[in-house]
Each structure stands twice: as structure tokens, then as C-alpha cells.
């Protein structure tokens, strides 16, 4: 790595480069090199997903929607009414009253849906961690930029103070010259009248 970049990093962080964590080093390098390329964590993450992971996310999204709940409720009501109709009409039913076959299908659906939802939640947690790391990088970079701006403002303020002091000294010098001239003029004006 460039020695100048390391010097800038050590100046900004007020510590040795070797003592920084990996994330701080990464942000410091970005800042020191002034790379203004911002990344979209969500887009980067979604580009890395496999077909199965995308499918699992879509299944989890659909399984947690009101559309799924509505369709599922309608299917249950139709199942119960169809069974009751067959029982009343033919005195037989393909799934008698405690609806054991329906319970089996519901259990199978839940046993398939649960791991898919868990996979999706794990990916979401990973995505949240990536977002948190990115937010930390952005916040750290912003903090370093603010520190840099504070230094620049302090330097400008010091420069302005020194300029003000020199102007004030010049004004005091001019005032003392004026006072001296006034005193001379008063003495010379006062001498002939005596």
C-alpha cells in the first residue's frame, strides 16, 4: 500500500494503521484514496443468490401473505363442504369428519414450508448483517470526512485570526501615527498663539 495513504489514515484515525480493525482499514483506504463509488448491498446480495434461494424467498414471501392465507382458507372451506356434501349425498366420504387426510396435508405443508421460511430468514439475517456493515462503513467514512472538515475550518479560523491580528496591529500603528501627528499639530498650532 502507498505510504502516503497510510500517513493520511494514521492522521485521520490518530492511531497506527496496524491497530485498526479490518472494517476501519477498508473504510480508511476508501477515504484516503477518495473513491466515491457507492455500492448497493441489496443489489450485490441479490446477484449472488442461486435459483433455489430465489425460489425459497418467493415461496416464503407468498406463504406469509394475505393472498396465501385467503387461498388456504378457501381451500379448507371447500374441503369441508365437499366432504360434507359427499357424506350427505352418498353416505360415504373420502375424508371422514376428523379430516385426518386434511390434517396430513396440512402437516406436510407445514413441514415443507417451515424450512423454506427458515432458509429465507437466514438469508435475510445475512443481508441485514451486510447492510449493517455497509452502514457502519458509511457512518465511519462520514465521521472521518467531518473530522477533516473540522480541521480545515480550524485552519481557516486560525488564518483569519492571524490576519485580523495583523490588520489590528496595522490599524493601531496608523492610529498612533495619527495621534502623534495630532499632538504635533496641536503643539505647532498652540506655539504661535503664546
Return the closest-CA partner of residue 123 out of 54, 43, 40.
54
Buried b vs exposed e over 167-183: b needs ≥16 C-beta within 10 Å?
eeeeeeeeeeeeeeeee
Does the residue 132 lie in any domain? no
Does the residue 33 lie in any domain? yes
Give yes or no: residues 70 and 109 share one domain.
yes
Give yes or no: residues 161 and 184 share one domain.
yes
Give yes or no: residues 188 and 157 share one domain.
yes
Give yes or no: residues 116 and 176 share one domain.
no
Query: What is the C-alpha to C-alpha distance for residues 22 and 20, in angstroms, rounded to an integer?
Result: 7
Does the residue 44 lie in any domain? no
Does the residue 138 lie in any domain? no
How many domains, the chain? 3
Give yes or no: residues 120 and 187 share one domain.
no
**Residue 1: predicted pLDDT:** 61
**Residue 32: predicted pLDDT:** 64
**Residue 148: predicted pLDDT:** 80
Give yes or no: residues 105 and 158 share one domain.
no
Tens-digit pLDDT string for the chain (194 aa): 667 677 777 777 777 877 877 777 777 776 665 544 456 777 778 888 899 889 888 988 998 899 999 999 999 999 888 888 888 888 887 887 788 888 999 999 999 989 999 999 999 999 899 888 888 888 887 887 888 888 889 989 999 999 999 999 999 999 999 999 999 988 887 665 55
**Residue 169: predicted pLDDT:** 94
Does the residue 26 lie in any domain? yes
Contact criterion met (CB below 8 Å) for 120 and 56 = yes
Q: How many residues does the chain have?
A: 194
Does the residue 140 lie in any domain? no
Contact criterion met (CB below 8 Å) for 82 and 95 = no
**Domain, as residue range, for 157:** 146-194
Give yes or no: residues 65 and 118 share one domain.
yes
Give yes or no: residues 120 and 61 share one domain.
yes
Does the residue 137 lie in any domain? no
**Residue 25: predicted pLDDT:** 74
| DSSP string for the chain | --HHHHHHHHHHHTS-GGGS-HHHHHHHHHHHHT------HHHHHHHH--HHHHHHHHHHHHHTSHHHHHHHHHHHHHHHHHHHHHHHHHS--SS-TT-HHHHHHHHHHHHHHHHHHHHHHHHHHHHHHHHHHHHHHHHHHHHHHHHHHHHHHHHHHHHHHHHHHHHHHHHHHHHHHHHHHHHHHHHHHHTTT-
Contact criterion met (CB below 8 Å) for 83 and 93 = yes
Query: What is the C-alpha to C-alpha distance for residues 98 and 100, in angstroms, rounded to an integer?
Result: 6
Does the residue 101 lie in any domain? yes
Instruction: Tell me the whole-structure pTM to 2 decimals.
Output: 0.53
**Residue 37: predicted pLDDT:** 44
116 burial via Cβ count (<10 Å: 0-12, 13-18, 19+): middle
Give yes or no: residues 32 and 60 share one domain.
no
Amino acid at each position: 500500500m502507498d505510504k502516503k495513504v497510510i500517513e493520511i489514515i494514521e492522521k485521520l484515525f490518530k492511531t497506527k494503521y496496524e491497530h485498526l480493525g479490518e472494517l476501519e482499514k477498508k473504510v480508511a483506504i476508501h477515504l484516503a484514496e477518495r473513491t466515491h463509488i457507492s455500492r448497493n448491498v441489496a443489489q450485490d446480495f441479490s446477484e449472488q443468490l442461486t435459483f433455489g434461494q430465489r425460489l425459497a424467498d418467493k415461496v416464503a414471501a407468498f406463504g406469509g401473505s394475505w393472498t396465501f392465507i385467503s387461498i388456504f382458507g378457501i381451500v379448507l372451506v371447500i374441503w369441508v363442504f365437499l366432504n360434507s356434501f359427499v357424506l350427505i349425498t352418498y353416505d360415504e366420504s373420502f375424508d371422514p369428519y376428523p379430516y385426518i387426510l386434511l390434517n396430513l396435508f396440512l402437516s406436510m405443508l407445514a413441514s415443507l414450508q417451515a424450512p423454506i421460511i427458515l432458509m429465507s430468514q437466514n438469508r435475510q439475517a445475512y443481508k441485514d448483517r451486510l447492510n449493517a456493515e455497509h452502514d457502519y462503513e458509511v457512518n465511519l467514512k462520514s465521521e472521518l470526512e467531518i473530522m477533516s472538515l473540522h480541521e480545515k475550518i480550524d485552519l481557516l479560523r486560525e488564518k483569519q485570526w492571524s490576519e485580523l491580528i495583523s490588520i489590528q496591529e496595522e490599524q493601531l500603528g496608523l492610529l498612533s501615527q495619527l495621534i502623534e501627528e495630532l499632538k504635533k499639530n496641536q503643539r505647532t498650532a498652540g506655539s504661535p498663539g503664546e
